Amino acid sequence: MPINFRKSLGSIFILVLFAIITLIYYTFVIELYLPQYPSQKGILIGFHLILFMLLWSLFHVTFSEPGRVPPYWGFYMGDSEAKRKRYCLLCHVFKPERCHHCSVCNRCVLNMDHHCPWINNCVGFYNRKLFLLLLFYTLLCAYYVILFMTPTIFSSVKHLLQSSEIRVNLHPHLLYIGVYLFLLLLCFILTNFTKFHVKLVMKNSTTIESLDNTAVTGNYDLKSIRNWLQVFGRNPWLWVVPYYGKSGKPVGDGVMWSHDPFQDVLENDPVESETNREGAISRPPNSLSVVANSPSGRPSISDTSYEYTAEQNVNIGRLIEQHKERRTRSPFVSEIDTETSILHKSRAEISSLTPNTSVLEINMRDKQSA
């Protein structure tokens, strides 16, 4: 099936979803409460408030950016074998950890959870909160309608059972019962579906990873509260609102991931920003990792098994910055060579570096040691 056709097919799912919402609104508001319970304004206000949050979440997650691979990410990877395994031939980018290519959207998505046809979009690092809020408000709206329709359903069933003759006014009763049964089925399915996704968030896992038998269980688990903050952000007031702002964005960048639950890299990253970092080096455990080309202008050094001091981070960052100022027309080749040289230094050598150490001195040491 062509990719464009599969993507356009998602529009049909959205139209069906809006048709269902319209049917529920017509049944609950137009047919039931406005003509029969005009004085129950509080119930109608509550319903419209929940419906507004549902539609807000739906529009936002449908047109949101799930997470794009930063430009030039992967040029800083020193391991050629890792490059070969993580290179996407369709998008022509190096894929970070937990990044997958969506065959429907025809793009790579950071921390991809799955492609949802009902929103015609992927669920990834930057819109996972919106997807969960959509599930929450859909469930809340369904339970709300079921709760306040239950007395009417009992009277409708009683009316149908006691009617010995065919009546022309059976239409509203059949409509109430049909919508009520549909909502019961919807609640049963969505409740289990929502519980599944909440469990994934609390374990810092995704749908794709849960279906992968080769994945290590709990490999990215930072324990409950930090897993939650990674998706919903640090501002509790924005957890229930489909809006990020400056304080409600997911913690992290969707590129660098910690494998150590006792190392809070999400909160202590000195160059963490509100947007994607434009470049990073991904390396296996027990090795240095560099986040380069950050918006703050200073690279950051992290190690999954060794904590470097702030002075060492600044020293190495200055070395890389000094070299970037001297780059010629071949920035990637020269930058990779110098950064790789810095990365392969032992911890003792790194500790001996000072802010005045030049890139030329590093290269001279490499030649002497060779």
- Angstrom distance (rounded) from CA 282 to CA 255: 9
Residue with tokens 């047109």: 63
For residue 116, indicate whether it is catalytic. Answer: yes
Cβ–Cβ under 8 Å, residues 200 and 206: yes
Candidates 361, 370, 317; CA nearest to 339 is 317
- Angstrom distance (rounded) from CA 233 to CA 214: 29
Return the exposure string of 216-244: e unless at least 16 CB atoms fall within 10 Å of the residue's CB, then b. eeeebbbeeebbbbbbbbeeeebbeebeb
Candidates 8, 271, 269; CA nearest to 117 is 8
- Angstrom distance (rounded) from CA 229 to CA 232: 5
Cβ–Cβ under 8 Å, residues 316 and 350: yes
- Cβ-in-10-Å burial (0-12, 13-18, 19+) of 175 comes to middle
In Å, what is the CA distance from 347 to each residue of 51, 231, 306, 344, 353? 57, 34, 9, 9, 10
Q: Which of 105, 116, 122, 141 is catalytic?
A: 116
SS3 292: coil
CB atoms within 10 A of CB 106: 13
Please give the positions annotated as active site.
Answer: 116
